[in-house]
Amino acid sequence: MDALETLNYKFADCEGLEFVKIGDLTLAKIDTPLTQAIVAVQGAQIVEWKPANEDQLVVWRAKEPTYETGKSVRGGVPICWPWFGNHPNLTMAHGFVRFKDWILMNAQCDSDGQMHMHWRITDDAESLALWPHRFELDVIMHIGTELRIQLVTHNTGDESFSITQGMHTYLNLGDTRSTVIRGLEGGYYLDKLKGFARTPQDDIITITGAMDRIYFGTTHTVEVEDAEFNRVIVVAKEGSHSTVVWNPDENVPSGMLPEESRNMVCVEAVNAADDTVSIAPGERKILGTTISVRPMN
């Protein structure tokens, strides 16, 4: 059997789960009474997600995504590890695990329709050439009326290491111009579009153009009010003291149409810049995010 047949055979008893091939990538399609979602084996990446009672996606995906080896699908929740953003010496932004196939250790669907998935990747010769540390990395997903993702880093080597990391979460909006983001007031952010200038956030956030900000000193839950779809998307987190808010406006990256920036914003649970994580030999650290949605009125 090939890899696709093997996955469908191994998890044949997991109701609501099917593996398909689109382009170069193998995808897990989830369809249960509680939720619909797609997860890529490459990168253990949530590609899209919504509760079954929502008409619109909650986790956004580009209209015309590419499913290519070595490229993240534009949208979803790419895993950025063991560095977030640019590397000082390598051209590979956001680390290397989002381009590698992960092993699905276990998948189980509860009787009510909640899907649980456990993905794993470990160091190999290729990873050690890029980043010389031993590790075991797990992604634990609970996919139902809420989407909960935990990224668990286990230092399996003999020396401590430090990482930055993130869950690059794309949220689906009816229109950014009528969107308000609450929960980051009273802090400050580094503005990447203005030379990382330190800027106070005195009020709620509105999206009036391109933004690329790292908010510091915050463990707060963020609420994204989407007036067009009459709902509030709630982004909670654990193991993080920094939050990224990003929208490219019309200067969109590859895999995305310029007009699509009006329908998405990234609100990301991260450890970025000065918010680094040090992990001793044998130690585990968790970065987590939980996304939920409720009516606005």
- What domains are there in the chain, each with its CATH number? 3-295 (2.70.98.10)
C-alpha 184/C-alpha 190 separation (Å) is 13
Q: Is the pLDDT of residue 111 over 80?
A: yes
Yes or no: say if 107 and 81 are a contact pair by the CB < 8 Å rule. no
Q: Is the pLDDT of residue 30 over 90?
A: yes
Q: Is the pLDDT of residue 89 over 90?
A: no
Catalytic residues: 168, 268
The mean pLDDT value for 173-183 works out to 97
**Residue 123 has what pLDDT?**
98
**Residue 83 has what pLDDT?**
96
The mean pLDDT value for 57-67 works out to 95
The mean pLDDT value for 165-181 works out to 97
C-alpha 119/C-alpha 109 separation (Å) is 15
Q: What percent of the chain has pLDDT over 70?
A: 100
Helix (H, G, I), strand (E, B) or coil at 291: strand
Nearest Cα residue to 138 out of 110, 97, 96: 97
What the block records as the tokens of 136 is: 């075991």
**Residue 90 has what pLDDT?**
79
**Residue 86 has what pLDDT?**
85
Q: Is the pLDDT of residue 2 over 80?
A: yes
What the block records as the tokens of 4 is: 């696709």
Cβ count within 10 A of residue 187: 16
Nearest Cα residue to 267 out of 297, 295, 228, 237: 237
Mean residue pLDDT across the chain: 96
pTM: 0.96
Amino acid letter, 58: V
Amino acid letter, 72: S
C-alpha 41/C-alpha 79 separation (Å) is 12
The mean pLDDT value for 60-80 works out to 95
Band (271; pLDDT cuts 50, 70, 90): very high
The mean pLDDT value for 87-115 works out to 93
Q: How distant, in Å, are the alpha carbons of 8, 16, 19, 22, 33 from that of 12?
A: 6, 10, 10, 20, 18
**Residue 177 has what pLDDT?**
95
Residue whose entry in the numeric block shows the structure tokens 């030999």: 281
Q: Is the pLDDT of residue 18 over 90?
A: yes
Yes or no: say if 48 and 76 are a contact pair by the CB < 8 Å rule. yes
**Residue 80 has what pLDDT?**
97
Band (297; pLDDT cuts 50, 70, 90): confident
Note the pLDDT tens digit of each residue in 119-161.
999 999 999 999 999 999 999 999 999 999 999 999 999 999 9
Backbone φ and ψ for 16, nearest 5 degrees, come out as: 90, 5
Helices (H), the chain: 3-10, 125-130
Nearest Cα residue to 244 out of 233, 253, 235, 232: 235
